């Protein structure tokens, strides 16, 4: 909207209406010390000068367009095809409002329907909703579904689930009077021990694979252990990994959740991202948020509508499945465009490229003195290494060389200050990986006793 200043005559007219003689009298109750007076903004600048100034300020940022990054932990730098912002930036998508009136919202509803179809196929499950805010809310809502479906009061959440998701689940459960139980503190879950913890009080078991450390969990065995006790199994996944790994529906998961950020959504300083959730048949009426359905009009023409709207916005609050009444439609559109562009084969090729480069990086990094892989489990595009010096020092060393390092796990748990999680995507070519390795090699030598520290710690104190 354009700024339209008032003329002196208009100001006088407005002051007369409210009964004051001047602007100073209007603000007479404001202490003199708080009044700025006339702003001293200095001499004006031309457009050319402003652009040069802003470009100079921007050049001071350590941006990912000009620096390699190995930082992951739930948000990954992937290439976003130019078609994605071109389509999501079109006014009919960018400014469209909630599709309450299906007769004038067919385009938006069709996009939602296509998105749901793709996510359901990717997850190997029967139905997906129109998206949620992020993975954390998707995990929490999945736990609520499990509690409502089983009428039990406890959920079991693996230590390898993203810390943000674990905190949100704990908040949801505490607020509703339910219990959130931690499952283990090892790099991967011990199936036998997990089976002992899953009893008939457990409504749902949440496991992330690849987990927060990068390790792939034994999902099939854990799912079977959950079902033996009548609990629902909730699989949290990186959607890109499903191009190579078995989808949740294949190993019997009841609910699949994840973050859609790897699907054509830029890092954007941490959001907005996209929460994914899909369920097996029989749980669709417990899904939160929105679901778009396909139908036919009176003339037999295909049309799209919102369906199964069991939200507090549409029915009595006590009957609602969730208080999340909306969705991240623009982000869901980006994911839909991205998946349409790549297709099944393109997605598989991209995932394979990330996997190959990550394993090359792991081989090279763990070949350095004092570095070693933290776990023996397979991994996708992210892995954790034990470091000879605190990970924070390593990241400072890398930053001085113009490289954005991995995730310092000491920020998550002080016992893990000698562990660094590195993420590798198609954006990290061999040259970048080799530069990373050479920069790590240039670290000051460390004592042999430190370099030979145990790399396979487990349990409450073992991982430190």
Structure tokens at 105: 């919202």
Q: pLDDT value at position 5?
A: 78
Q: What is the CATH number of domain 343-462?
A: 3.90.1150.10
> How far, in Å, CA of 296 to CA of 300, rounded?
5
Q: pLDDT value at position 446?
A: 45
Asked if 214 and 241 count as a contact pair (C-beta separation under 8 A), the reply is no
* Positive/negative CA dihedral, 27, 33, 36, 37: positive
CATH code 3.40.640.10 region(s) in the chain: 83-338
Give 125: exposed, middle or buried? Use CB within 10 Å, 0-12, 13-18, 19+. buried
> Quick one: CATH architecture of 83-338?
3-Layer(aba) Sandwich (3.40)
Q: pLDDT value at position 307?
A: 86
Asked if 319 and 185 count as a contact pair (C-beta separation under 8 A), the reply is no
Closest CA to 274 of 326, 323, 315, 309: 326
Q: Computed over its alpha carbons, how large is the radius of gyration of the chain? A: 26
Q: pLDDT value at position 63?
A: 83
> How far, in Å, CA of 58 to CA of 67, rounded?
14
Q: pLDDT value at position 445?
A: 52
Helix orientation angle between 430-441 and 329-365, rounded to the nearest 10 degrees: 50
Give the predicted TM-score (pTM) of the model.
0.85
Q: pLDDT value at position 94?
A: 86
> How far, in Å, CA of 242 to CA of 350, rounded?
11
CATH code 3.90.1150.10 region(s) in the chain: 343-462
Kindly report the three-state secondary structure assignment for every residue of 397-422: HHHHCCCECCEEHHHCCHHHCCEEEE
List residues bridging with 180 in a β-sheet: 155
Low-confidence ranges of the chain (pLDDT < 70): 1-3, 36-39, 309-318, 444-464
Q: 375: Cβ–Cβ under 8 A, 6 or more apart, which residues?
A: 187, 188, 213, 215, 384, 456
């Amino acid at each position: 909207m354009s700024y339209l200043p008032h003329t002196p005559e208009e100001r006088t007219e407005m002051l007369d209406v409210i009964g004051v003689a001047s602007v100073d009298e209007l603000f007479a109750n404001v202490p003199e010390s708080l009044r700025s007076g006339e702003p001293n903004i200095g001499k004006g600048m031309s457009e050319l000068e402003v652009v040069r100034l802003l470009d100079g300020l921007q050049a001071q940022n350590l941006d990912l367009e000009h620096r390699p990054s190995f930082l992951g932990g739930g948000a990954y730098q992937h290439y976003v095809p130019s078609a994605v912002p071109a389509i999501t930036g079109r006014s009919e998508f960018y400014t469209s409002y909630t599709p309450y009136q299906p007769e004038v919202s067919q385009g938006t509803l069709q996009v939602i329907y296509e998105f749901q179809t793709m996510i359901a196929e990717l997850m190997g499950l029967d139905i997906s909703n129109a998206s949620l805010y992020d993975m954390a809310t998707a995990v929490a809502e999945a736990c609520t579904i499990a509690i409502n479906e089983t009428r039990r009061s406890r959920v079991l959440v693996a230590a390898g689930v993203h810390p943000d998701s674990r905190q949100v689940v704990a908040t949801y459960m505490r607020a509703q009077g339910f219990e959130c139980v931690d499952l283990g503190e090892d790099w991967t879950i011990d199936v036998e021990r997990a089976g002992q913890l899953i009893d008939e009080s457990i409504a749902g078991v949440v496991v992330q694979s690849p987990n927060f450390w990068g390790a792939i969990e034994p999902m099939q065995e854990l799912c079977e252990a959950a079902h033996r006790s009548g609990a629902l199994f909730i699989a949290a996944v990186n959607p890109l990994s499903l191009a190579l790994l078995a989808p949740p529906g294949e190993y019997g998961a009841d609910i699949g959740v994840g973050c859609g950020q790897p699907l054509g959504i830029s890092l954007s300083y941490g959001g907005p991202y996209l929460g994914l959730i899909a369920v097996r048949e029989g749980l669709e009426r417990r899904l939160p948020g929105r679901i778009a359905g396909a139908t036919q009009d009176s003339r037999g023409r295909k049309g799209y509508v919102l369906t199964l709207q069991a939200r507090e916005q549409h029915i009595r609050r006590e009957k609602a499945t969730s208080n999340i009444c909306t969705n991240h439609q623009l982000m869901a559109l980006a994911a839909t465009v991205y998946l349409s562009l790549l297709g099944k084969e393109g997605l598989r090729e991209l995932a394979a490229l990330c996997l190959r480069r990550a394993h090359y990086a792991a081989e090279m990094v763990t070949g350095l003195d004092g570095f070693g892989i933290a776990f023996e489990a397979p991994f996708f595009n992210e892995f954790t290494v034990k470091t000879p010096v605190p990970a924070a020092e390593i990241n400072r060393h890398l930053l001085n060389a113009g490289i954005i390092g991995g995730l310092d796990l000491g920020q998550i748990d002080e016992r893990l200050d000698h562990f660094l999680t590195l993420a590798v995507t198609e954006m990290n070519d061999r040259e970048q990986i080799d530069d990373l390795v050479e920069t790590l090699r240039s670290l000051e030598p460390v004592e042999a006793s430190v370099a030979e520290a145990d790399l396979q710690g487990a349990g409450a104190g073992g991982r430190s």
